[in-house]
Amino acid sequence: MSVLAYNEIIPKTVIEYNGEPYEVLASHVFRMQMRKPVNQTKLRHVISGRVVEISFHQNENAKEADLSTMDGVYLYTKPLPAGRQGGQSWFTEKDNPKNRFFFDADAIGQKVRWLTQNAPVEVLVYKDKPVSVRIPIKVDLKVTEAPPAVRGDTATGGTKQVTLESGATTLTPLFINAGDVIRINTDTGDYVERVEKA
């Protein structure tokens, strides 16, 4: 595990801060008047997703987090009993189906909505324990419900809300129909293109 100087704490690295893993989203090294240089960073907690802003001074450093990845498969999300929010999203290691684990749906709910059963994911492992999942930036999903396009309906900007096989909803152009396969950007939740016509 390498130790990073204050100016090596740059985007795409994962560091340990207060004993927890954080991904560096942004960094900016600057010097204020006669003071020593400072690295102003934006960090995202790998497990909770919480974003914090931390300044590292010239005499400070950070350990690179001992983070590894494994290939995983999404199984299902088990909701909590009626009236309660959340649930558990279950996964398994790709080559070892006996190794099953779950994350609270609250922690990764936004990601899970773009996954169908047996979808491949990348599992982040910290200190031998699965801590989070990464899903592909773009996924192809089948449209299960789409209202018919109404002639002259341009008041809504020429889009309509459709339901996907994963249960998520998104806005698409009016020409998308049930049965079409569309590509979604999982970062933004936006429609990208139609991959297959029904």
Handedness of CA 108, 169, 97, 100 (dihedral sign): positive
**Together in a domain, 72 and 127:** yes
E strands, 60-180, are 61-64, 67-79, 87-93, 96-104, 120-126, 129-134, 138-145, 159-164, 169-173
Mean per-residue pLDDT over the chain, rounded: 89
Is there a contact between 77 and 88 (Cβ–Cβ < 8 Å)?
yes
Instruction: Please give the tally of structural domains in the chain.
Output: 3
In the three-class reduction of DSSP (H, G, I as helix; E, B as strand; rest coil), residue 85 is classed as: coil
Which region among 38-42, 83-87, 112-116, 149-153 has the lowest average model confidence (pLDDT)? 149-153
**Together in a domain, 73 and 57:** no
**Together in a domain, 8 and 51:** yes
Looking at residue 83, its pLDDT comes to: 66
The domain spanning residue 33 has which CATH number? 2.30.30.30
Confidence of residue 164 (pLDDT cuts 50, 70, 90): very high
Residue 110 has pLDDT above 90, yes or no: no
Q: Of 113, 134, 155, which marks where a domain is finished?
A: 134
The 10s digit of each residue's pLDDT in 44-58 is 888 877 899 999 999
Q: Of 111, 134, 157, which marks where a domain is finished?
A: 134
Residue 156 has pLDDT above 80, yes or no: no
- Using alpha carbons, list the distances in angstroms from residue 174 to 114, 123, 141, 150, 177: 21, 36, 17, 8, 8
Q: Of 80, 115, 134, which marks where a domain is finished?
A: 134
The 10s digit of each residue's pLDDT in 34-43 is 788 999 999 9
Looking at residue 79, its pLDDT comes to: 77
**Together in a domain, 49 and 74:** no
Predicted TM-score (pTM) of this structure: 0.75
Looking at residue 169, its pLDDT comes to: 95
The mean pLDDT of 97-123, rounded to a whole number, is 88
Task: Print the domain residue range for 89.
Answer: 67-134
Q: For residue 134, give both structure tokens.
A: 């990464």
Handedness of CA 91, 94, 98, 99 (dihedral sign): negative
More confident residue, 59 or 109: 59
Residue 16: Cβ-neighbour burial (10 angstroms; 0-12, 13-18, 19+)? middle
The domain spanning residue 103 has which CATH number? 2.40.50
